[in-house]
Amino acid sequence: MSETRVNIYIAGDSTVQNCASNYKPQEGWGRMLPRFFKDYVHVYNYALGGRSTLSFIEEGHYDKIMGLIGPGDYLLVQFGHNDEKLDGRFADPFGTYQAYLKRYVDGAREKGAYPVLISPVNRRRFNLFGEFYPTHGAYPKAVKELCDELDVPFIDLTALSEEYYKKLGMEESKRLFLFLKPGESPNYPDGSEDNTHFNENGAYEIAGLVVEGMRRINLPLVEHLK
């Protein structure tokens, strides 16, 4: 008897997206998530670089998901990196950001699917004394408060990634990110010191943190892990 098909849809930004070949070795954790699940679990990653809660909707990516998602499916949502930027994408943490996130929750529920909100993964930031400091301000708290209000499963990827970066330390944590020497990659001829985006190994390890977050809240999806 074959297993039941499980569908996971993802909305998010560049830290989550499936990176095209011209971005390699950059990768997002959404690309790596299927590695943790059994073969009958299908992950549809619609995350795209530069998108905020609103621009993802305005550009039609939200509608694409809503046209496909169905009863019993899951929708994982992680935004924040671009909502913070003081340009056309800015969303106030406890105002428009929460309002836009609520649209993802409402849309999924209207389709009989299960929304899961994820606070933004941390950038790598250490001060001169080697102490980590967070960079997402009030956004993670805004996600948690909305989840409490709407009774939505919450994965605190901000806290999980902070915990992990601290454990690795200032130098060792670089191995998760897009740090390249000049000439090391044809896509980055001048090298890269990127503290926001992950390399393939880093994306895999962050996907592992997302799975750990699922375990901590006992999300039913954990029944389908390898």
Assess whether the previous peptide bond of 71 is cis (omega < 30° from 0): no
For strands 154-155 and 74-78, give the pairing.
unpaired
Contact 194/179 with Cβ under 8 angstroms?
A: yes
The per-residue DSSP string of 90-135 comes to ---IIIIIHHHHHHHHHHHHHTT-EEEEEPPPPP--B-TTS-B---
Contact 176/199 with Cβ under 8 angstroms?
A: yes
Q: How far apart are CA 179 and CA 171, in angstroms?
A: 11
Domains delineated in the chain: 6-224 (3.40.50.1110)
Write out the catalytic residue numbers. Answer: 14, 193, 197
Residue 116 tokens, joined: 């899961």
Q: How far apart are CA 124 and CA 166, in angstroms?
A: 10
Per-residue pLDDT of the chain (226 residues), as tens digits, is 346 899 999 999 999 999 999 999 999 999 999 999 999 999 999 999 999 999 999 999 999 999 999 999 999 999 999 999 988 789 999 999 999 999 999 999 999 999 999 999 999 999 999 999 999 999 999 999 999 999 999 999 999 999 999 999 999 999 999 999 999 999 999 999 999 999 999 999 999 999 999 999 999 999 999 9
Closest CA to 10 of 65, 50, 53: 65
Contact 72/48 with Cβ under 8 angstroms?
A: no
